[in-house]
Amino acid sequence: MSKLLNKKKNIILTGASSGIGSALAMRLANADSRLILLARNEQRLLQIAKACEQKQAEVITHLIDISETEKLQALVEKIDAKYPTDLIICNAGIANTIGKKGKAEDWQHICKVIDTNVYGVLASLNPLISQMQQRKSGQIVLVSSLAAYYGMALTPAYCASKAAVKAYGESLLAWLKPDGIKVNIVYPGFVKSPMSDSFPASKPFLISAEKAADIIVRGIQKNKPSISFPFPLNLGMWFLGAFPTRLSNWIMGMMYGSGSR
């Protein structure tokens, strides 16, 4: 039995119905876990809940779009009052790209990305932080992206949103450590999912959602502040952030061009 799940723990997981989220739900499902799964696709959410129950996990589902932040905060507060949160994984996220021939992103799509990827994360955590501080325990996992290290021309709003999650997670690390609260920031590269399927360019070092979930859970168990993968892409994105901007832009241009031109 893993140290993470050596007793019944209350685990909130957002974006639980597909991709990394569904793989994480399956990876964490066993008789010692109470999984509280949040997602906006009812059919897929119920399917993953049933699969987790077959692994003897107790499963509670909530159908919600996390961009509805007032509703989300009320729900998380209600959940924590009944099942004090041991672990929350803020995984839900969406992506968007620029249009053909470098056309700007639609403003409504930009807002949806920010509302989901940034405000959705903050709203998921805001009702919990003070409660975890009082309990002097808890673990917070924020799923950012390797795109947080250097913006890609194809996905400006998405990269900006994941950079915001990175910065917020880094702030939480320093802020909440004295209260005994663990914080882990996840930086995945390309992971096989409906989101990655919609990316209109090459996806170097693509890995399965199941492999990503294994890496993430191992990182959570070891309480690694930064969980980034796969290594070659992780190293490359780190260097892009460290190189002079002109050089980094030239490298990105060689890989992806200046957009969808």
29-68: pLDDT as tens digits: 999 999 999 999 999 999 999 999 999 999 999 999 999 9
Q: How confident is the model at residue 230 (pLDDT cuts 50, 70, 90)?
A: confident
CB 60 within 8 A of CB 111: no
**Distance from the Cα of residue 226 to its chain's centroid:** 13
Superfamily of domain 9-256: NAD(P)-binding Rossmann-like Domain (3.40.50.720)
Amino acid at 69: T
Buried b (16+ CB within 10 A) or exposed e, 123-154: bbbebbbeebbeeeebbbbbbbbbbbbbbbbb
Query: Beta partners for 14?
Result: 38
Tell me what the mean pLDDT of segment 17-31 comes to.
97
Q: Which one has a higher pLDDT value, 233 or 193?
A: 193
Domain ranges of the chain: 9-256
Confidence at residue 149, expressed as pLDDT on a 0 to 100 scale: 85
pLDDT tens for 71-121 read: 999 999 999 999 999 999 999 999 988 878 789 999 999 999 999 999 999
